[in-house]
Every structure is written in C-alpha cells, then in structure tokens.
Amino acid sequence: MERRSVTSSNIASIGYDLQNSTLEIEFKSGAVWQYMNFPEFFWSEFDSCESHGKYFHANIKNQYPESRVG
C-alpha cells in the first residue's frame, strides 16, 4: 500500500486502500499497523486533519480491527 509522509511526532506515514477499506499507519518507531473496516469518510478526515496523532488517539486507536504488518 502506498503511504505518504505526514508531519507528526509519532506517525511517519499514512495510506488507505479504498477497495479493502484498510488504513495503514507507519509509526516513527518503525512499526506498521493496518486498521480494517475503516470508512472512506474517516480517511478523508484523517488525511486532512491538523494533528494526525490527536485524531488517531481520539478516533482510530482501539476502534477498528487492527493488525501489525511491519
């Protein structure tokens, strides 16, 4: 999945697979996680938000099925 770099203290890059509704986040630690069943509407919000870290903690973490892939 292609990801783009973001300016964040904890997140290095983000990407979204529209066909599978899967969000992928690479953290600065090097870990890569996927979040399944992530709605396209929320991807648009997350992609354009001011603080990716705050959005992640408020709206993504522990809200969707997740899997570490890297």
What's this model's pTM, rounded to 2 decimal places?
0.95
The span from the CA of 5 to the CA of 28, in Å, is 11
- Reported as a single tens digit per residue, the pLDDT across 37-70 is 999 999 999 999 999 999 999 999 999 999 999 8
Question: Under DSSP, is residue 53 helix (H, G, I), strand (E, B) or coil?
Answer: helix
- Provide the percentage of residues in the chain whose pLDDT is more than 70: 100
The 10 Å CB-count burial string (b at 16+, else e) for 12-41 is bbbbbeeeebbbbbbbeeeebbbbeebeee
Q: Which tokens sit at 62? A: 């522990």
Q: What does the pLDDT read at residue 70?
A: 87
Question: For the chain, what are the domain ranges?
Answer: 4-68
Average pLDDT over residues 23-35: 98
Q: What does the pLDDT read at residue 27?
A: 98
Average pLDDT over residues 15-34: 98
